[in-house]
Chains A and B, each alone.
Chain A
Amino acid sequence: MSSDIALHDPFEEPARQQVAVSFGMWSFLATECLFFAGIFLFYANARWHGGEAFLNGAGESAFWFGTANTAILMTGSMAMAIAERAAKADIVRLTRWMLWAMLALGLLFLAVKGVEYRKDLHEHLFPGPDFKLDSGPAEQFWAFYWAVTAVHAVHLTIGLAATARLLWMDRHVSLHRHHSTVMASALYLHFVDIVWIALYPLLYLAGRQ
């Protein structure tokens, strides 16, 4: 029932509030799209002009870590989608489990990323004086890698914080009444997943034989 939705000022009808939250979050995601477009532009230019050297740099990325993380994040996205639908249908337990699943999978992603970072550093893949390959396009690939994965991780962390907040809210109020908040968090995390899906071929499939 929409009659028991928590209404925030200045809205007078739940349906309108729902559209507003959805539209507002999508507008924000449009800004995120432009935000990442900037760094994708850097990649596109570097790859276009970097030729073989760029691909050599790309070939050093940890394929299995990246692929596993992609699967992990996709699964999290699915969990979040179920959570949002369950909240709308007021199925409390399913909502709660799926939110926990998202949190767990997100943290797993960050853990895998952490291990991968350690491996990359160990193999001298951080740009600088003791970079593994020659300075130049290969180094630019790795500049992109470190910058974009760090920014992505920050976004994921924000999404996980939003999920944790939902779980905290769940202890005090009905998430069904605050469904639009759940929906907003879900949209954000789906976007985080989308960014990673876009990054995956650029980071892990480039320069493969």
Chain B
Amino acid sequence: MKEDRFSHIVLAPLKSWAAMLLLLVVTAIYAQTPYLPAKLVVNVVLAMGQIALVATFLMQLRTSRMLVRLAALAGLIWASFLFLFTFADFLTR
């Protein structure tokens, strides 16, 4: 197939996949290595990085309309309400 089509159809997902695998290796090693600080935070942040890659590039949020991005955002924001208010209770008992 033509160069630019190959680039868009195969290379772009491939690059995202490579980046995700790299993050996977990093996070796994970080978790297993003793005496490293803030493991939970680092692991979660790296996971968020992988999720961002999937959402932005594989799921094509980058090229989507604002309406579609809003739908994605709404799920996250409302989930945060659940956490925020419930922890307001859990942490102040």
Contacts and interface: CB of A to CB of B under 8 A. Distances in A.
Contacts of A157: none
A200 to B, nearest CB: 7
B75 A31 contact: yes
A197 B54 contact: yes
Interface residues of B, number: 47
A75 interface: yes
Contacts of A26: 68, 71-72
- Chain B interface, >50% SS class: helix
Contact of B47 (A27, A94, A200): A200
Contacts of B43: 201, 205
- Chain A interface, >50% SS class: helix
Given A26-B72, A82-B9, A197-B54, A44 B83 contact: yes
Contacts of B31: 201, 204-205, 208
A198 B51 CA distance: 8
Interface string B25-66: 001100110100001100110110011001101110000110
Contacts of A94: 9-10
B24 to A, nearest CB: 6
Interface in B1-28: 1, 5, 8-10, 12-14, 16-17, 20-21, 24, 27-28
B68 A81 contact: no
Contacts of A194: 51, 54-55
A29 B72 contact: yes
Contacts of A37: 79, 82-83
B86 interface: yes
Contacts, number: 126
A205 B39 CA distance: 9
B88 interface: no
A89 interface: yes
Contact of B75 (A29, A45, A89): A29
30 contacts: A23-B65, A23-B68, A29-B72, A30-B78, A38-B82, A41-B83, A44-B83, A44-B87, A48-B90, A49-B90, A63-B28, A77-B17, A81-B57, A82-B9, A85-B9, A85-B13, A89-B1, A89-B9, A94-B9, A186-B59, A190-B55, A190-B59, A194-B55, A197-B54, A200-B27, A201-B44, A201-B46, A201-B47, A205-B43, A206-B40
Interface of A: 19, 22-23, 26-27, 29-34, 37-38, 41, 44-45, 48-49, 63, 67, 70-71, 74-75, 77-78, 80-82, 85-86, 89, 91, 94, 186-187, 190-191, 193-194, 197-198, 200-201, 204-206, 208-209
